[in-house]
Amino acid sequence: MPGLIIRGRIWKFGDSIDNGNIDGVMEGVEPEFKSKVAPGDILVAGKFFGMGASDEHAPRSLQQAGIAAVVADSISNIYQRTLINIGLPAMECPDISSIVEEGDRVEIDFISGQVRNLSNGQSRSGDRLPGLALDILQRGGLISYLKEEFSGKKTPARG
Amino acid sequence: MGMTITEKIIAHAAGKERVKVGDFVQANVDKLYIKDLRFSKKEDARGLYGVLLEVLRSMGADRVWDAKKIVTNLDEQPARTDRRAEGQEMARKFAREQGSILYEGEEGGIGHNVMVEHGHVKPGEFIVGGDSHTCTYGALGAFATGIGFTETIGVLATGKIWLKVPPAIRFELRGRPGPCVVGKDIVLWVARKIGYEGAINRTLEYTGAGIEALSVESRLTMCNMAVEMIAVNAIIPPDDRAMTYIREVSDGDSKSYRSDSDSEYEQSHAVDLSRIDPQVAAPEYPSNAHPVGDFRGFKIHQGFIGTCTNGRIEDLRMAAKILRGRKIQPGVRLIITPASFLAYRLAEKEGLMEIFRQANATVTSSECGLCVRPSLAAGEVCISSGNRNYRGRMGPKESSVFLSNAATVAASAVTGAIADPREFL
């Protein structure tokens, strides 16, 4: 499946980064980040990424900055769902932050769940996404998924 | 291996015989709650209804999946920001055109309280809501969790949602709580025990004989603050007291579940309610909780009684018990915001409002109020009955917020400093 194996340079963040600090492309953690990040880069975070409120403004700012994927030791449920639903691949991969350094290149295979650090050869197994989430990501997010999936079919999911 | 109550509700909603931890399922939603702000254009320039109509049109449809299962509410009355006014206008338009339920005026208040009081929450239901405190409804034996903007559109269009079955953490309650100890003190104690991230992507289940002694209001508070521990949901198996309440507010038609005796828990904790003191959480994290005595004498500028956590009639009664015949300390303000107009009118009937007036407290319209709107100056300290005390939550970053139950807030406003409400009984 194209688009679900993502390679890129990583930016590394710590634990417990909440929605408010993610808003404005991680502005609350590192105000200069938005001028450094380039399209196709990957964000790696520690534990409890995306805790707090459910406002979608913040995750959309990551997408608009060109972040291609998010991998973290753990991601709050509501946040991971939101990232996937807006079309930004996101996976939990326990221990990922211990095998990468800022600037490393990694390869994330969202189908197998494997994350490989191309700079040092280490790898870890992430928490694989269900088929439906992969379908949503391949169509660029839940909205385009719904538009295409149910195109012309009235009352899509009753019963 | 048996199933927990949460697993049973998810299995039923997904049309499956059984599910286990880690399974991904697609579930049918029984009820969807949407707050007014979600209709504003903050998260998407087209607004929630604009994007939804685009999705529906491409499906060749113009109606949502099931209008009678959708409840919207105006969380602030009157609207005080452009965003709120924009959201409320669109919420009204949505309700009018789609035929869904909308609460405002005398029927309104804070959405989560309105949902419960108007009988929209029943045991065994699978409920999602466009607000993180949707988890409150678990107090009545429902599965309930918060969802984001885009996912709300997905549910409006299809009535379905995908999720991963969460592992469970059990708190087994026994004993009876002492004076001035309610659900708030129990949940702050729990947050302290497992940490602010202690329930990340887990379900919190409260069980045991100690539940029987707890009011429905206390249970709502305990489930409300599950999201402060990053839980997916919290749940309390319905007992006679819960079922009596449900029959009072709804048609009572429901299916209740309880966990099997051999269901699996990732962690189990025992709690003796008689050993819990009134709790106060120090600024920045709800899990910074300690017995009230540890903070006794710490000067405050504002007390706030309200929010979806603790603005219900039980909280207003507790506050009135402390405030009766007393006045708040000069130079200190006490703001009381009933969580719904139903609670407001009941408080009026019971004479509580007169007690608040005599005490020189300020009573406001029923809404989210100071929990979502700044009211502190730099350097000021508030003791609040709400759920979040993150830095800058109620004002500039140099202001701070302590959390407690409503009686502790009232006792502190009378004293001008954090005080033990038991000394006022």
Quote the crossing angle between the two packed helices A57-64 and A19-26, to the nearest 10°.
30
Contacts of A57 in chain B (CB under 8 A): 42-43
Provide CB contacts within 8 A for B282, sequence distance 6+: B288, B289, B290, B295, B389, B402
d(CA B116, CA B144): 12
pLDDT at B152: 96
pLDDT at B25 over 50: yes
For β-strands B203-207 and B279-281, DSSP reports them as: unpaired
- Name the region of A41 (left: φ>0; alpha: ψ -120 to 50; beta: rest): beta
Nearest to B230 among A48, A154, A157 (CB): A48
CA-nearest residue of chain A to B44? A57
Any CB–CB contact under 8 A between B14 and chain A?
Answer: no
pLDDT at B7 over 70: yes
| Beta bridge partner(s), residue B400 | B381
Contact criterion met (CB < 8 Å) for B151 and A143 = no
Structure tokens at B4: 């927990």
**Residue located via tokens 């001008």:** B416
Nearest to B154 among A48, A146, A148 (CB): A146
Q: How far is B131 from chain A (nearest CA, A)?
A: 7
Contact criterion met (CB < 8 Å) for A151 and B160 = no
Contacts of B58 in chain A (CB under 8 A): 146-148, 150-151
d(CA B384, CA B399): 13
Structure tokens at B190: 């729990």
pLDDT at A1: 44
Between positions 30 and 89 of A, the ones with CB within 8 A of B are 47-48, 51-57, 60, 74, 76-78, 81-82, 85-86
Nearest to B159 among A130, A132, A157 (CB): A157
Any CB–CB contact under 8 A between B162 and chain A?
Answer: yes
pLDDT at A152: 60
Q: Which of B288, B283, B285, B267 is nearest to B189 (CA)?
A: B288
Say if CB B102 and CB B36 are below 8 A apart.
Answer: no
Structure tokens at B363: 């009573």
Of A144-153, B33-42, B113-122, B399-408, minimum mean pLDDT range: A144-153
Query: How much of chain B exceeds pLDDT 70, in percent?
Result: 100
Nearest to B150 among A133, A141, A148 (CB): A141
Structure tokens at B70: 């959708």
Best A15, A22, A56, A144 member to test B by mutation, with max B CBs in 10 Å, is A56
Say if CB B136 and CB B220 are below 8 A apart.
Answer: yes
d(CA B321, CA B425): 8
Contact criterion met (CB < 8 Å) for B148 and A155 = no
d(CA B224, CA B220): 6
Model confidence at B416, pLDDT cuts 50, 70, 90, reads: very high
pLDDT at A157: 45
Any CB–CB contact under 8 A between B83 and chain A?
Answer: no
Which helix (H) or strand (E) segment holds residue B280: the answer is strand B279-281
Of A53-62, B63-72, B203-212, minimum mean pLDDT range: A53-62
Contact criterion met (CB < 8 Å) for A78 and B200 = no
Provide CB contacts within 8 A for A96, sequence distance 6+: A44, A71, A72, A73, A115, A124, A126
DSSP strands (E only) in B199-252: 203-207, 233-235
pLDDT in tens, B100-134: 999 999 999 999 999 999 999 999 999 999 899 99
Contacts of B148 in chain A (CB under 8 A): 54, 56, 78, 81-82, 85
Structure tokens at B160: 């379905």
DSSP at B331: T
Provide CB contacts within 8 A for B136, sequence distance 6+: B112, B116, B144, B220, B223, B224, B308
pLDDT in tens, B357-394: 999 999 999 999 999 999 999 999 999 999 999 888 99
What mean pLDDT comes out for the span B253-269? 93
Q: How far is A145 from chain B (nearest CA, A)?
A: 9
Q: Which of A47, A55, A52 is nearest to B390 (CA)?
A: A52
Structure tokens at B217: 């209001």
Model confidence at A149, pLDDT cuts 50, 70, 90, reads: confident
Contact criterion met (CB < 8 Å) for A154 and B58 = no
Q: CA dist A92 to A11, A48, A96, A128, Å? A: 16, 10, 9, 8
Between positions 273 and 312 of B, the ones with CB within 8 A of A are none
Contacts of A146 in chain B (CB under 8 A): 55, 58-59, 153-154, 157-158
Q: What angle do CA B261, B267, B269 make, to 5 degrees?
A: 85
Say if CB B361 and CB B335 are below 8 A apart.
Answer: yes
Between positions 118 and 147 of A, the ones with CB within 8 A of B are 130, 132-133, 141-143, 146-147
Q: How far is B52 from chain A (nearest CA, A)?
A: 9
Return the SS3 of B324: coil
pTM: 0.94
This complex has an ipTM of: 0.89
Say if CB B103 and CB B76 are below 8 A apart.
Answer: no
Return the SS3 of B41: coil
DSSP codes of every residue in B371-407: GSS----TT-EEEESSS---TTTTSSTT-EEEE--HH
Contacts of B201 in chain A (CB under 8 A): 74, 76-77
Structure tokens at B378: 């730099």
Which helix (H) or strand (E) segment holds residue B226: the answer is none
Q: CA dist A131 to A78, B26, B73, Å? A: 18, 11, 35
pLDDT at A158: 38
DSSP codes of every residue in chain A: -TTSEEEEEEEE--S--BHHHHHHHHTTT-TTHHHH--TT-EEEE-SSBTBS---THHHHHHHHTT--EEEES-B-HHHHHHHHHTT--EEE-TTGGGS--TT-EEEEETTT-EEEETTT--EEE--PPPHHHHHHHHTTSHHHHHHHHTTT-SSTT--
